[in-house]
Amino acid sequence: KAAFINFISDEEWKSIEPVSSWFGPSSFLMSSMSALFKLSMWIRHGHGYLTENLGIPVWGSYAVFGLATLFLGMVLGLVSEVLGADGDF
């Protein structure tokens, strides 16, 4: 406690460089990390719903998420190819 009070009263905080904008709360990096955290919480909730409410075994829930990941990858790959195509099919 005393060290913190001395830090404030001696104005040592002025010598510390502030957090760069890259790591600020509204930066792209932190927004992306927040979105990934929200996605992980959604996946956790979905896994709990599948196993607890619907009675699907754990391996079945993993299979559902694995197939969803593969399907999403195929869709994103297809969209990427269509948008990136130079007009010659």
Q: What torsion, rounded to 10 degrees, do the Cα atoms 41, 33, 62, 80 define?
A: 130
Q: What is the pLDDT of residue 64?
A: 95
In a domain, 12, yes or no: no
In a domain, 14, yes or no: no
In a domain, 46, yes or no: yes
In a domain, 18, yes or no: no
Least confident range from 22-26, 30-34, 78-82: namely 22-26
pTM to 2 decimal places: 0.59
Task: Write out pLDDT tens, residues 43-57.
Answer: 999 999 999 999 999
Number of structural domains, the chain? 1
The single-letter code of the amino acid at 57 is P
Range of the domain at 36: 27-86
In a domain, 8, yes or no: no
The shares of helix, strand and coil residues in the chain, as percent rounded to the nearest 5, are 75, 0, 25
Show Cβ contacts of residue 21 under 8 Å, excluding neighbours closer than 6 positions.
27
In a domain, 38, yes or no: yes
